[in-house]
Amino acid sequence: MSKKKVTEENEEKKFNDENIATEERDEQPSSENGNAKEDVLEPEEIRSAEDVAEEDMVPVEKFESLKKEYNKLYDKYLRQVAEFENYKKRMSRDLTRRVEFANEELLREVLPIMDDLERTVQATEDDSSEEHLREGLQLVYNNFKNVLKRRGVEPIQSVGEPFDPELHEAVMTQESDEYDSDVVMQEFERGYHLGEKVLRHAKVVVSK
């Protein structure tokens, strides 16, 4: 083989090798270009703001259903508020009626005592006897005491009892040979209680 032919073959081989290398570089992009390609979205992946909004919106049918449910609950709330206000007014009226009825009953029971007083006054006009006056007053006293008893009002027992600030009001203290210390020895004004509640404390004199 001549030297010239060998040289031509070497140059042809070198040329082919350079072409192959160039093709390989074109087929394998650099890492920088590869990253840039990854960050780029395909056209079909891009959604407009309107598309996103439309997907997040509640369907018209569901919105109307929720609106009807809200209106229903709100109407129910308004009715309950109105019913509660009517209940309060009704209870207030009932309480007023009960107080009026209680007063009416008490006054009705006091009327016979008024009749006794009237008869006592008439008796003293016809007959000035002190005995008739005493009997009439005793009758009034007994009737009035019975009215209080029917209402649950009872007198507080004081004389001879130990002084109790829950029941008695000491108006003065006094030396006593008959009673021990701190014992009620005299009652100025009788006290009364309604059940366990004290209506009026008894005004008393306490021994010392």
Structure confidence at residue 182 (pLDDT) = 92
- The rounded mean pLDDT for the chain is 76
Strand duo 202-207 + 197-200: pairing:
unpaired
Least confident span in 77-81, 82-86, 133-137, 180-184:
133-137
Instruction: Give tens-digit pLDDT for 45-100.
Output: 555 555 555 555 667 778 788 888 888 899 889 999 999 999 888 898 888 877 77
pLDDT at 8 over 70: no
Structure confidence at residue 36 (pLDDT) = 44
Query: Which residue from 167, 119, 122 is spatially nearest to 143, judged by alpha carbons?
Result: 119
Residue 110: C-alpha distances to residues 78, 124, 147, 150, 204 (Å): 48, 22, 7, 12, 28
Strand duo 202-207 + 168-174: pairing:
parallel
Average pLDDT over residues 35-40: 50
Residues 6+ apart with CB under 8 A from 120: 132, 133, 136, 137, 139, 140
Average pLDDT over residues 14-25: 58
Is residue 172 within 8 A of residue 188, CB to CB? The reply is no
Rounded Cα distance between 164 and 179, Å, is 15
Read off the pTM: 0.47
Helix (H, G, I), strand (E, B) or coil at 103: helix
Q: Which of 3-7, 127-131, 176-180 ranks highest by mean pLDDT? A: 176-180
Query: Which residue from 162, 165, 172 is spatially nearest to 204, judged by alpha carbons?
Result: 172
Confidence of residue 168 (pLDDT cuts 50, 70, 90): very high
